[in-house]
Each structure stands twice: as structure tokens, then as C-alpha cells.
Structure 1
Amino acid sequence: MVGTGAFLLMATACAGQDMPTSQPAAGGDSAAPTGSVSTSPSEPVPTANPPGKPRLTVPEGSTPVPANKIDASALPAGFPREVWTANGGTILNIRAQEGGCGHALGEAAEQSAGRVVVNLSETKAQTGQMCTMDIRYPVISVALAAPLDQRTVVLKTTPPQ
């Protein structure tokens, strides 16, 4: 009886939390979380996803980067190859891949006149931690020093951190 009560308490506590999906979101799912939203009239409501904070959907108002401006040849087979710009082209929103206890990360490793190289990685699970075997496809944001404009986005993966 005590075990059943503990299970129900845990299930009820988890019911109010947002659970990540295990498949890429189809464009325009507005029911997913959008990050922190201010309720104070004096604070601005953020419209872009802060760099480094994964989300389930692409921020509203983002513009897709044309496929011919994305070099994803270094990515493993099956890895997402979707990139959008926001904030006048100074933010890249990239569909990444993560699983279990890991979390997707992105870093602009190189920014030249012709290309922007983004290293995609995943945090490593802590030793001894039990993790699920699911795969998620969050959108991560990476800040650029200047607008992307006509530069090519080169996507690479790096070992877990």
C-alpha cells in the first residue's frame, strides 16, 4: 500500500512538468514550452530563445537557412540537418540530437567571411546515473558575432562533454 501511494505521489508530481518529445516537431507546434516569459509589465517578453537553452520548437519568426547554405557532410547519418536564423541573423537555431541523460550543446567554433562552423555536442551522463534510451531532437540556439547573411553554416559533432 505504501509503495502504491509513493508511486501515485511521484506520478502526480511529474504530471505538471513538460516532457520532451522523442521525435522532431513538425513545424509550428505552439503548445510546446517557449522559455521564460515575464509577467511583469515593466520587463520585456523574450521573443528569441536564449543561446544555450534547448527547446522543443523553433522560435516564432525564425527564418529557415536554405539547404544549399548548410554543410552537414560531417554529421552522422540520421542526424538532423535543420537550421534557422533569428534576431536579424545573429542567432542560429539548430535542430540537434540528444538522448538519455545527455543535453545537446552548440558552439560557434569559427566565424569567417564565408562560413560559420558550429560544433554540436552532448553533455555526458554522470557515472552511475540511470538514464533512458530515448532520442530527442531539441532546437538549440547559438549566438553569432555578426549576421549570417550569405555565409554557409558548417555543422560538425564533437565528443560528449
Structure 2
Amino acid sequence: MRWKATMCGLGLVLLAATACGEQGGGVQPGSGGAPSSSEAAPTAPTIPATELPPVMPGGPRQMQPPADTTPVPASRVDSAALPSDFPREVFVSADGRQLFIRAEEGGCGRAAAEVAEQNAQQVVVDLVESRSNLAGQMCTMDIRYPVVSATLSDPLGERTVVLKSVKRGY
């Protein structure tokens, strides 16, 4: 008889424990309903566009040159200073004042183009890869080939484009 009382007591303890473990509110799976207004999920605050954080590495990048550009002939591109596996594509805008160059970036790196020198014979462009300096930031081990741009003071014309590679923050 004593075992019946023990079993009954144990049953009551289990019933109380499972009843305390239930959580009310919210949408039950398969119910198809939404939480009531008092239980609605909190919404993220809206941030004005002027206060948005900068795009971090791996974010959206222009991967193709604009449609109204034309390739600069390989005979007018001096890429001898670039690593052997670096891309060598250069495009020029219709007005000749904008260069679009395929660059290389990877992981936490970010590619950009800077006009280092311009004269009557050539335009020297530094293809800069800057690395993020956020402490403890994890970086992927991928390589991307975005198209970066550089603005010239005068149209390119028949000048040669000299490409150089520069790394910053490494």
C-alpha cells in the first residue's frame, strides 16, 4: 500500500514540474495565427541613411564594369608591376575621364583605385587593398575580383595605363 502512495506522490511532482515548464503566449506551431499586439515581436529601430555604418568587407560590390564602357586595349595597359595572378582588365567611360579596373581583394580586404600620377604619356593607377583593422574580426579565406573606379583630370585618349599593386594595413 505504501508503494501506491509513493507512486501517487511522484506523479503529482511530475505533473507540477511539467506544468511549470509550459510557457504561454506566442504562436503555437501550426496554429497559423500571429501573436497579439501585446505580444508582438520588438521591431528594430530605423536608422537614417546618413547614419548607416560603412559597408564591411564581403558586402555588395560592383562585379562588372558599367554597360557604357569600352575595354582599353592590352597594348595600352602596363601591368608589369602586378603579381602574375592579378587580373588585368581596364575599361574606360564614354567621356574618357573614368577608368574601371578589375581589382583583387580577399577576406577582410577592400579594393580601391587611386590615380597616383597623370602626364601626357601615361596614367599611373595604384590598386590598393586595405585590410580592416577591427581587433578580433574573423575573415573569410576567399578572393573576390570587384571592379573599382578612378577619375582622371583629362580624358585618357591614347595614354598608357600603368597598374601597380599596394597593400595597406597588413
Q: Pick from 126, 136, 139 the counterpart of residue 128 of structure 1.
A: 136
Matches within 5 A, 1:38-49: none
Partner Cα separation in structure 2 for residue 122 and residue 159 of structure 1: 5
How many angstroms does 1:121 deviate by?
1.0
Cα deviation, 1:47-88, whole Å, max 9, x if unaligned, reads xxxxxxx51111011010000000000000110000000141
Which of 145, 149, 153 is the matching residue for 1:141? Answer: 149
Gaps of 5+ in 1: 1-19, 21-32, 34-53
Q: Does 1:79 align with 2:99?
A: no
| Structure 2 counterpart of 1:37 | none
User: Whose RCO is larger (CA < 8 A, sep 6+)?
Assistant: 1
Q: Which amino acid aligns with 1:132?
A: T
Structure with higher Rg: it is: 2
- TM-score (ref. length: structure 2): 0.62
Q: 1-side partners of 2:129 and 2:167: how far apart?
A: 7
Deviations 1:74-132 (A, max 9, x none): 00011000000014110000000000011101100000000000001111122321000
Give RMSD over aligned pairs.
Answer: 1.7
Distance, in Å, in 2 between the alignment partners of 1:116 and 1:154 is 6
Alignment of 1:1-161 (within 5 A): 54-126=61-133, 127-161=135-169
Aligned to 1:41: none
Which 4+ runs in 1 deviate beyond 3 A?
none
**Structure with more helix by fraction:** 2
TM-score, length basis structure 1: 0.65
- How many residues align? The count is 111
Query: 5+ unaligned residues in a row in structure 2: which ranges?
Result: 1-57
Q: Is the 8 A contact 2:70 2:94 kept in 1?
A: no
Q: Amino acid of the residue matched to residue 107 of structure 2? A: G
Cα deviation for residue 133 of structure 1 reads 0.4
